[in-house]
Amino acid sequence: MTSPTPTTEPALEQLLSEPDEPTVETLTTLEGDVVLLGAGGKMGPSLARMARRAIADRARRVIAVSRFRDAAVSAALEADGITVVRADLADPHAVAALPWAANVLWLAGQKFGTTGDPVGTWTENVVASVHAAERFARDGARIVCFSTGNVYGRTPVAAGGSREHDALAPDGEYAASCIGRERVFESVARRTGAALLCYRLFYANDLRYGVVTEIARKVLVGEPIDVTTGHVNVIWQGDANRLALRALSLASAPGQSLNVTGPIVSVREIATACAEAAETTVKFVGTESDTALLANTSMLSAALPHTPLGLRALCAMSVLWLRAGGRTLAKPTKFEVRDGKF
């Protein structure tokens, strides 16, 4: 594996898109093209590149679908051998015209701005899902539908995190719309027999965004760390990418869900590790709440065994990235939010 010390975006993209042997084996075993719907967002480009790097057979297409408002993103994907399709996934006519693929990853969705644009959120998270589910849930398609841990709501820290079979308890309109997205895919999968997995991802960290990057930035500029929301799960996005592609092999009819993230860690632990990497000190404010948005990952460990990037390595990478002037996406996770309003 590449040494995890990127300080430039090309090096970061190379690291984020590096497949491991289980990912290569999965995509070699599964037949057919791979399509990523909503591939222009935070995870899509590196995930598409990883799929392309993992599939040796160049006759098999990796198709990235998005509106691609940034032409540079689509051009770079095309240069890497990925088929780019520009389409508005909320437009049923555009979705109907998309090339079919046996392996489908649904990445599209809206989180931030929900409070000011609830109609847009439901359009992106639910209405668009209807079009995609109807288009691809046939002829033996395998679908990994990206979802979120927000569908569970906050739970006691002492309970060890929500499990896949727990009752869903949406906190706010964003979380409710994400349950709606899952239910759409589940409904169509039940009717068509399509293989489905709902990929409930908690806080993936690319050095340009994520909980660890946010905390590292505060540590570097001397801002105190509020620990009211005192515990989180975090996962390196490269690990999340590999697990997403491997999850295609777990898709089944009429569908199942999987929590995808790292172990529960305290915000104090993250901040302390960042401070140690930066050779500085950190100040804390607030008192830890006894509830948080947390996942139990025992099912993930059993179904997709893997060796994740460790927390201290991720903290050190984040500090190095920021000190080198690495770009950030200005898309805060808002992991501290406790009222469901995004």
Question: How far apart, in whole angstroms, are the C-alpha atoms of residue 215 and residue 223?
Answer: 9
At 332 the pLDDT is: 84
Task: Average the pLDDT over 29-53 and give the result.
Answer: 96
Tens of pLDDT, residue by residue over 203-213, are 999 999 999 99
Burial group, residue 21, by CB count within 10 angstroms (0-12, 13-18, 19+): exposed
By the 8 A CB rule, do 232 and 149 touch? no
Domain spans in the chain, listed from the N-terminal domain onward? 9-202+237-261+294-308
Q: Residues 282-321: pLDDT tens digits?
A: 999 999 999 999 999 999 999 999 999 999 999 999 999 9
pLDDT of residue 1: 45
The whole-chain average pLDDT of the chain stands at 93
* Region at 12 (left for phi over 0; alpha for psi -120 to 50; beta for the rest): alpha
- Note the pLDDT of residue 340: 59
Tally DSSP H helices, then E strands, for the chain: 13, 15
Q: Is residue 261 scored above 70 in pLDDT?
A: yes
Least confident stretch, 56-60, 117-121, 248-252, 337-341:
337-341
Residue 3 has pLDDT above 90, yes or no: no
Q: Is the pLDDT of residue 177 over 90?
A: yes
202, amino acid identity: F
pTM (2 d.p.): 0.94
Confidence of residue 335 (pLDDT cuts 50, 70, 90): confident
Fold designation for 9-202+237-261+294-308: Rossmann fold (3.40.50)
Report residue 257: phi and psi, to 5°: -120, 155
Higher pLDDT, 235 or 138: 235
| % of the chain residues with pLDDT over 90 | 85
Q: Is the pLDDT of residue 187 over 70?
A: yes
pLDDT recorded at residue 4:
62
296: nearest Cα among 198, 143, 156: 156
The mean pLDDT of 141-148, rounded to a whole number, is: 96
Strand (E) positions, 202-253? 204-205, 225-226, 231-233, 235-236
Closest CA to 260 of 276, 249, 245, 244: 244
